[in-house]
């Protein structure tokens, strides 16, 4: 099944980190001018602000808040650090509720000082400890499987299958998955696992950007859609086949793009979006 | 099952690229002095040499030639380039035969200008085209699954399961798998797929090094065993559980280690080997 053609910007969401140099207010204003309809807010952009008021201001620009980014980072060798992570995630739930963001994206975490298996167990325990508060506030938790190159410190959940299995094992309407083409494009099981994710009601979010070839930095060398080698239309078609009808969230970390004029970059995001 | 303790160097093999600054002759001489028993020869080290004589000279140092590295790179958008790749692999088979190396490691390749599915199809076709010559010369071909971060240009085979499936589909005693902890350590199916690989007689080679945390370069920042976060003893135990009794091949690409004294580096390889 091919992806539906993109004829407007009604499903275009941008993560505030994508236009890193802009404040939350600048981002909201400029996204509106460009016709963008969704925004995912990274927590650092809320610093020093009244969060509820920030949410109202964002919505006054005609933007829907898609998610708060990011919770997670549950695993740690030290029990004290695991407890601190839980506290931070409970705080994130409160922030999401104040912002009226319906979902938190979880970068689950990993600690190179222990086995991946142990980290995975701690991730599940962490999610289950935060879940009652998330349910109480009506905030969903989206497990984001991260590329295997981040298995040392960022996430021990590295495939969509693992994320699906964890969401299914927890078995709550408030726990699902955020699928990002950057992390998953190489996976031979991607279509099958996207369909499974959708079938089980767990496909909460869909993130897009591109894989530069070559990629020169582990973190901040992601490409604009079309700059790299990911077949985004095919993967988006699979997400739609899985029943996904939410926002396409543009999440690009790029020293190269951050160094340039952000309005020009935003224009490029919009034009490349039509072809992804 | 825990790995057997390492009490001697009888199963220690080093890839010539690991001590990159040394010529083939220097490597063979120094490996012998250090008590190393196996060597895997990268093709560039054979440049300008009589290959059969080079093989004899290596063996005169008490070294067993474990593999010739590397063949592969089959996929290409251009038919002409695919044909050139076949020619190069046929040449590698002749080199391996002249060297009396029993095996060629295949870095299978990928072309960012086409889908991974197409690249995978071309990899299988490439192996099947080279196979008759390999059988005739008694040279085995080992498919090495590469880390997903290399899916754009180096290999569209990124998990041990994919390599197993391809080897099983080809179904020849001359086609198997080279398992490298660097590429596979993150995979939740690793034990199961190693057991499958051994059960089917396909576990031809076992490569070791470590994943630095953080890793700063996509190619040349691999660690000495113990410097990083890979639980090598556990994975080696799984390989042994799978019936593997061949060499543990040390394959480290490291600008950091290459910049230092190679004899000191060799000593560190030997001492860290006892604890991996």
Asked if residue A74 lies in contact with residue A111, where contact means CB atoms within 8 angstroms, the answer is no
List the single residue in A113, A162, A229 with the smallest CB-CB distance to B112: A229
Within a domain: B4: no
Q: Which of residues 4-33 of A touch B (CB under 8 A)?
A: none
CA–CA gap between residue A144 and residue A7 (Å, rounded): 28
Instruction: Give which of B114, B152, B163, B210 to mutate to test A binding, by max A Cβ within 10 Å.
Output: B152
- List, in sequence order, every residue forming a beta bridge with B180; answer none if it has no partner: B207
C-alpha distances in Å from residue A252, one per residue of A9, A177, B215: 18, 19, 21
Span B8-66, pLDDT tens digits: 999 999 999 999 999 999 999 999 999 999 999 999 999 999 999 999 999 999 999 99
Per-residue pLDDT of chain A (276 residues; tens, 9 = 90+): 578 999 999 999 999 999 999 999 999 999 999 999 999 999 999 999 999 999 999 999 999 999 999 999 999 999 999 999 999 999 999 999 999 999 999 999 999 999 999 999 999 999 999 999 999 999 999 999 999 999 999 999 999 999 999 999 999 999 999 999 999 999 999 999 999 999 999 999 999 999 999 999 999 999 999 999 999 999 999 999 999 999 999 999 999 999 999 999 999 999 999 989
**Whether A211 contacts chain B with CB within 8 A:** yes
Identify the CATH number of the domain in which residue B171 sits.
Answer: 3.20.20.150
Q: Where are the alpha helices (DSSP H) in chain B?
A: 24-34, 51-60, 79-99, 116-137, 160-170, 181-184, 190-199, 232-241, 255-258, 262-273
B211 to chain A, any CB pair closer than 8 A? The answer is: yes
B44 cis-preceded (ω within 30 degrees of 0): no
pTM above 0.95, yes or no: yes
Give me the residues of chain B with pLDDT under 70, please.
1
Residue A139, in any domain of the structure = yes
Which letter does DSSP use for residue B73 in this model? -
Cα separation, B160 vs B191, in Å, equals 10
- Reported as a single tens digit per residue, the pLDDT across A109-141 is 999 999 999 999 999 999 999 999 999 999 999
Give residue B1's pLDDT.
59
Counting the structural domains of chain B, the total is 1
Q: Work out the burial of residue B259: count CB atoms within 10 Å of its CB; fewer than 13 is exposed, 13-18 middle, 19 or more buried.
A: exposed
**B1's tokens:** 């099952």
CB contact under 8 A, A186 and B116: yes
Its ipTM equals: 0.97
A244 lies in a domain? Answer: yes
Contact A163, A194 (CB under 8 A): no
Q: Does B215 contact chain A (CB < 8 Å)?
A: yes
B155 in a domain, yes or no? yes
Inspect the interface and report whether the beta carbons of A116 and B188 lie closer than 8 Å. Answer: yes
Is there a contact between B213 and A152 if contact means CB atoms under 8 Å apart? yes
Q: Residue A2: what pLDDT?
A: 79
**Contact between residue A36 and residue A270 where contact means Cβ atoms under 8 Å apart:** yes
Nearest-CA distance B210 → chain A (Å): 11
SS3 content of chain A, % helix, strand, coil (to 5): 45, 20, 35
**Domain containing residue A106:** 12-275
- Residues B178/B202, Cβ–Cβ less than 8 Å: no
Is the residue at B7 inside a domain?
no
**CB–CB of B208/B248 below 8 Å?**
yes
Tell me, yes or no, whether A7 lies in a domain.
Answer: no
* Residue B71 within any structural domain of the chain: yes
**What is the 3-class SS of A177-227, one letter each residue?**
EEEEHHHHCCCCCHHHHHHHHHHCCCEEEEEECEECCCCCCCCCEEECCCC
Q: Which residues of A touch B120 (CB under 8 A)?
A: 188
* Residue B5, domain member (yes or no): no
- Strands A175-180 and B140-143, sheet pairing: unpaired
Which of the residues B111, B114, B149 would you substitute to probe the A interface, choosing the one with the greatest number of A C-beta atoms within 10 Å? B149
């Amino acid at each position: 099944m091919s992806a539906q053609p993109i004829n407007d910007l009604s499903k275009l969401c941008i993560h505030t980190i994508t236009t890193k140099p802009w404040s939350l207010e600048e981002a909201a204003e400029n996204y509106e001018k460009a016709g963008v309809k969704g925004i995912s807010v990274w927590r650092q952009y809320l610093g020093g602000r009244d969060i509820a008021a920030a949410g109202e201001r964002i919505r006054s620009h005609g933007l829907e808040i898609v998610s708060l980014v990011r919770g997670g980072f549950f695993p740690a060798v030290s029990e004290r650090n695991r407890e601190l992570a839980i506290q931070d995630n409970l705080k994130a739930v409160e922030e999401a509720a104040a912002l009226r963001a319906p979902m938190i994206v979880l970068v689950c975490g990993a600690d190179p000082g222990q086995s991946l298996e142990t980290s995975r167990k701690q991730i599940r325990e962490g999610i289950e400890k935060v879940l009652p508060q998330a349910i109480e506030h009506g905030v969903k938790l989206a497990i984001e499987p991260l590329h295997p190159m981040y298995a040392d410190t960022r996430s021990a959940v590295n495939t969509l299958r693992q994320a699906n299995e964890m969401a299914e094992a927890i078995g709550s309407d408030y726990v699902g998955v955020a699928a990002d083409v950057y992390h998953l494009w190489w996976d031979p099981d991607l279509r099958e696992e996207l369909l499974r994710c959708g079938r089980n009601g767990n496909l909460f979010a869909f993130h897009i950007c591109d894989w530069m070839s070559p990629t020169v930095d582990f973190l901040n060398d992601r490409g604009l859609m079309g700059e790299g080698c990911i077949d985004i239309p095919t993967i988006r078609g699979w997400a739609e086949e899985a029943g996904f009808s939410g926002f396409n969230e543009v999440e690009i970390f790029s020293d190269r793009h951050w160094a340039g004029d952000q309005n020009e970059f935003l224009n490029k995001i919009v034009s490349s979006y039509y072809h992804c």
